[in-house]
Structure 1
Amino acid sequence: MRATDALRTALQELLTEKGLSWPAKAVIAPPKDARHGDLAANIAMLLAKDAGRNPRELAQELADALPARCADVAGAEVAGPGFLNVTFSQDFWRRAVLDIESAGADYGRCNVGQGKKTLVEYVSANPTGPLHVGHGRGAAVGDSVTRLLRRAGYDVTTEYYINDAGRQMRILGLSVWLRVLELAGRPVEWPEDFYRGSYIIDIARTMLEEDPSLPDLPEAEGRERCYQRAMNDILDGIKADLRDFRVEHQQWFSEKTLVEGGKVDAAFQALDKAGHTYEKEGAYWFATESLGDDKDRVLRKSDGSLTYFASDIAYHHDKFRRGYEWLIDIWGADHHGYVPRMRAAIAAMGQPKESFDVILIQLVNLLQNGKPVSMSTRAGTFETLADVVKEVGADAARFMFLSRKSDASLDFDLELVKQRSMDNPVYYVQYAHARICAVLRRAGERGISLPDHVTLADLAALDTPEDMALLRKAATLEDVIATAAQALAVHHISHYLQELAGMLHSYYAKHQVLLPDDTPRTIARLALLRGMGQVLRNALDILGVSAPETM
């Protein structure tokens, strides 16, 4: 935030003159009570011992010197044991409108990431069936984390890991093959763990229509053909669902390529070289217990087959070999026990612990008319993401998925998010933007001309507490983005939007914007609202949610 930067710069200059260094634990933040000023700093209490002064005395010296050092400071006071409370001039806050107009869609961007090469891998659902609503929450979080990090200055690539090998895929092929035989009138013995969804029958029926001789193939060949067709059809459907949900994946990485490309062997060699592997009872082990896991793990079984963990290690080893400095995985909350295991692998690869993070996605409790909607991929009773998006729209689904911390469970009420009422948080925020657009349209209809770029003089009439509150809130967007990016917490943006929308709705209730007898104040308020509209659009874009002009 400009205010934070301005105050820090002025205080650093004053400390340098006193021969004092900026303390590591210094905090500059808005005070809990807005009556105490715009920002509060604790540096006097941290430096009192080094300065050989009483904290309040040191704080008072800084308070007395600040207005002359920084012209934007209107006043500074000492509170409590030595807090420095600072108030900025109204013109300082009014300049936020000029900043917004100048930056436009880039307003709020920062560079805390400094171009760090980052890979965000998310969704990565087995292509054994359509995406369900739980996958949708992970998709929304992954896509929005990417948007957030890019606005914070990180160089982000997105990736989907295709689990196209292993037992689940063999079951998929078998499930379609058995349906083909059933539709052809052949006797079938059903295993307990086959996929029962109607989509399996649809794939089998299409394959049989295209090739009536399919059931006559040898079983191994038939199952392989069914596996290939089912995987490709399901994966195409997943890609289409993600596109409709405004979710980006730049790269699609095949699990099969890990073995075929020698990447598993390369990862094993790296672990061997670091001294973290051993042979026992004919199996190949990874000594993860010494690296923070609860026990050592098998990578290659005695029969020569690889474990899932082996593939995951190879995959992450390959990510680092591709030059990424920060790996972010988005997993379901049921994988929480897998995190220490993967962290052990990252450490064994010689990578710093901060180079790997996992965002856990908790369950979504989908409700319809107050009743839970059951979800089970194999039983075929799940609610697909495509159905949810069709029912409520991508905007509502994304906003709701991002309205809480990702590791907290979420009740998703289909009926609530379809309501056009202030109780619906999606409507609440989008309507704030639509109201701004409506006011600007009415101004144009009345012949009120708002210049593309206003001057500070045009904004002089912004002098009410509500004007200042909106300006301060807009000015914090950069800080919110930086904090949310570093914490990988997109819900901070959702909360910011709801707070800003609430302030705007209250503003309309208290202040008339189009004043027939006060043109200067009308122009100032229109410029303020236009700026707030841009702030709403920029924050909504991080969530992947549109900003409608009419509702």
Structure 2
Amino acid sequence: MYFKVKNEAIAILKNCLDKLGYEIPDEIKLDNPTNPELGDFASTISFELAKVQKRSPMEIASEIMGNIEIKSIFQKIEAKGPYINFFIDYSIFAKELLKTITKDYGQLEKTGKKIILEHTSANPNGPLHIGHIRNAIIGDSLKRLLTIAGNNLDTQYYVNDMGRQIAIIVFGIKDLKLELDPNFSEKIDHQIGNLYFKANQKLNEEPELNTKVGDLIKTYEAGKDSKLNIVFEKAVEDCLTGVKETLHKLNIEHDEFVWEGQFVRNGEVNKIVDDLIATGYTKKGEVLILDLSQDFGIEKELVLRRSDGTSLYSTRDLAYHSFKSKQGDVVLDILGADHKLAIDQVSVALELIGEKAPEVVFYEFINLPEGSMSTRRGVFVSVDDLIVEAITRAEKELKTRRPELTNNELLKIAEEIGIGAIRYYIAKLSPEKHITFKWDEALSFEKGCASIQYAHARACKLLEKSKKANDNLEIAIDNIDDEEWDLNKAETDLIRILAKFPQVISESAKIRRIHLIAQYVQDLSSAFNKFYKSEQVINHEYEYYRLLLVDKTRITIKNALDILGVVAPITM
């Protein structure tokens, strides 16, 4: 409905320009004034025409206003200086909008594009930690956003099974006889992390043992020692089992786990290297390198092959990107800001051999305030620790607010609030900004994610209390045009924000950013809370309309939270 009205405003301007004999621009842009007193849409067409006509924008705006025709969906059209501003007639628009808000509100038309989105891809040498969580949450939220924006999308986790870290774990198992607890007294990925730590300690104490790690890498790459393959693969699978459990708690699922080893075994890595050699940009010394300094301004050389002939992460990554390039129209990576040089190298290398360079969303890192959580081993804060802390804090808050809850009810709501707090707090800031995770802000019932979830729960409770809501909402939609509805400011403000949801989705998808969705749903819940506190709904003369407004707000909050991977509770 929002796009329809926006297009109506554009059509009005085009008709006016045609009547005046102006050449109509290929694109007429409409902005959204931040102040509603300046209208719902504002056009700068007068500025564009002034450049061509060699006249003042004010003069052209006056001429347009003398010839413009107002359609019924608009209450008025005014010139605010050189700007042409459109004011929606909300007594008409509100009814039309409420008809369009169904359970899939926000779903845009299919684009026909296939996107391969890689995110998280943490090395399987221990549990996910605080350094991984922003990647995972941005990636999963973008998956949800780009899907509702009409794209066909697959998410992949790139499994680094041939890296030195995994070889160290296998060294610990085979040579140091370190064992995992078969009874799972500790989560399996945490056990793997402990084993890796101990094996690393041994290598630091006796550096000569590193040759054994190198031999393991070489043998595993060859793939001919079936017993060794099993040890490597089981270690990786065990760690991934724990990682998947953690991601599942955060409402994150991947469509595919792609193991890098396949690209060595099937010859794709060697093919990539041969193709790069054919470009003339490689140099052979002690190691084979790709030199991009002269023509591309990338000073650091990209090493393609070790002196012993084994592959590197960089060449396996090139083969993986080539694999993704063939699968989709767009390859999208989520990477930490410290990967900028590496991705520049990868992008140029891919383009040299005729493959698509990836789009990349870079993010800065997240940390916790000093002393806000204890680390069990003094090394890092795991995501599992973070989840437990969030749920525990939410439980404590709920016990004071809802002492009547049973233990099961308390835990369920606390999990929804705790996980929501983590996901929303990370999603609400643009990825370019550093984050310090502050518990009081994240779990706030006044301004955090909990306040948004609470707005949804309020809407559900209000609908449950009204018999008319239960019995007659569909009748109300059918009869919505039969009665007058004189909207007040709280209702108008809520309608105005509800209408913008599809546009926010479209804009967010174009720039590959989710923080706009987080801000939108915060604004929507705030507008709903003002409406809820100031307006009577049940037994009011506009009860049908207001119940519809409550219901459609409930749907929109739920759909927006779903993009962020946050549960919308029906009670809190």
TM bracket, shorter-chain basis? 0.7 to 0.9
Task: Give the match's secondary structure for 1:382.
Answer: coil
1:383 corresponds to which of 371, 377, 381: 381
Larger deviation, residues 86-95 vs 113-122: 86-95
* 1:148-196 C-alpha deviation (Å, 9 max, x unpaired): 0111111111101000002111112223446635999xxxxxxxxxxx9
Query: Contact between 1:434 and 1:547, CA under 8 Å: does it hold in 2?
Result: yes
What is the CA distance between 1:319 and its match in structure 2? 1.3
Larger deviation, residues 495-504 vs 59-68: 59-68
Cα distance, 1:458–1:441 mapped onto 2, change above 3 Å = farther
Task: Give the match's secondary structure for 1:128.
Answer: coil
Query: Contact between 2:463 and 2:469, CA under 8 Å: does it hold in 1?
Result: no
- For residue 46 of structure 1, what is the aligned residue in structure 2? 48
Q: State the distance in 1 between where 2:350 and 2:34 align.
A: 41
Q: State the distance in 2 between where 1:21 and 1:148 align.
A: 37
Cα distance, 1:176–1:234 mapped onto 2, change above 3 Å = same
Query: Contact between 1:110 and 1:152, CA under 8 Å: does it hold in 2?
Result: yes
Query: Contact between 2:463 and 2:470, CA under 8 Å: does it hold in 1?
Result: no
- For residue 306 of structure 1, what is the aligned residue in structure 2? 311
Task: Give the match's secondary structure for 2:361.
Answer: strand
1:86 aligns with 2:86: yes
What is the CA distance between 1:458 and its match in structure 2? 5.8
Query: Contact between 2:161 and 2:260, CA under 8 Å: does it hold in 1?
Result: yes
1:544 aligns with 2:569: no
- For residue 552 of structure 2, what is the aligned residue in structure 1? 531
Q: State the distance in 2 between where 1:179 and 1:100 align.
A: 65
Counterparts of 1:221-236 in structure 2, within 5 Å, are 226-236=231-241
1:127 aligns with 2:124: yes
Query: Contact between 2:91 and 2:487, CA under 8 Å: does it hold in 1?
Result: no
- For residue 484 of structure 2, what is the aligned residue in structure 1? 460
2:432 corresponds to which of 384, 404, 407: 407
- For residue 341 of structure 2, what is the aligned residue in structure 1? 337
- For residue 473 of structure 2, what is the aligned residue in structure 1? 450
Percent of aligned pairs with the same residue? Answer: 29
Cα distance, 1:270–1:114 mapped onto 2, change above 3 Å = farther
Task: Give the match's secondary structure for 1:371.
Answer: coil
Q: State the distance in 2 between where 1:548 and 1:285 align.
A: 55
What is the CA distance between 1:46 and its match in structure 2? 0.4
What code does the residue aligned with 2:380 have?
A: F
- For residue 15 of structure 2, what is the aligned residue in structure 1? 13
Cα distance, 1:454–1:465 mapped onto 2, change above 3 Å = farther
Q: State the distance in 2 between where 1:183 and 1:336 align.
A: 37
Question: How many aligned residue pairs are there?
Answer: 510
- For residue 349 of structure 1, what is the aligned residue in structure 2? 353
Query: Contact between 2:443 and 2:449, CA under 8 Å: does it hold in 1?
Result: no
What is the CA distance between 1:74 and its match in structure 2? 2.0
Cα distance, 1:455–1:462 mapped onto 2, change above 3 Å = farther
Task: Give the match's secondary structure for 2:367.
Answer: strand
Gaps of at least 5 residues in structure 1 are 185-195, 206-217
Q: State the distance in 1 between where 2:45 and 2:563 align.
A: 34
C-alpha RMSD of matched pairs (Å): 3.2
- For residue 105 of structure 1, what is the aligned residue in structure 2? 103
Query: Contact between 1:100 and 1:531, CA under 8 Å: does it hold in 2?
Result: no
What is the CA distance between 1:402 and its match in structure 2? 0.9
Q: State the distance in 2 between where 1:491 and 1:371 align.
A: 28
Q: State the distance in 2 between where 1:315 and 1:21 align.
A: 49
2:273 corresponds to which of 262, 268, 271: 268
Query: Contact between 1:77 and 1:85, CA under 8 Å: does it hold in 2?
Result: yes
Q: State the distance in 1 between where 2:290 and 2:550 align.
A: 59
TM-score by length of 2: 0.81
- For residue 473 of structure 1, what is the aligned residue in structure 2? 497
Query: Contact between 1:176 and 1:200, CA under 8 Å: does it hold in 2?
Result: no
2:162 corresponds to which of 161, 165, 168: 165
What code does the residue aligned with 1:541 have?
A: D
What code does the residue aligned with 1:174 have?
A: F
Query: Contact between 2:287 and 2:305, CA under 8 Å: does it hold in 1?
Result: yes
What code does the residue aligned with 1:138 have?
A: N
Query: Contact between 1:399 and 1:543, CA under 8 Å: does it hold in 2?
Result: yes
What is the CA distance between 1:329 and its match in structure 2? 0.7
What is the CA distance between 1:59 and its match in structure 2? 2.0
Cα distance, 1:298–1:522 mapped onto 2, change above 3 Å = same
Gaps of at least 5 residues in structure 2 are 182-188, 199-211, 217-224, 392-414
TM-score by length of 1: 0.84
Query: Contact between 1:177 and 1:204, CA under 8 Å: does it hold in 2?
Result: no
* 1:378-436 C-alpha deviation (Å, 9 max, x unpaired): x67322223323443322221122121123222223455455x314x111101111111
- For residue 72 of structure 2, what is the aligned residue in structure 1? 71
What code does the residue aligned with 1:164 have?
A: D
What is the CA distance between 1:496 and its match in structure 2? 0.5
Larger deviation, residues 47-56 vs 355-364: 47-56
Q: State the distance in 2 between where 1:183 and 1:95 align.
A: 63
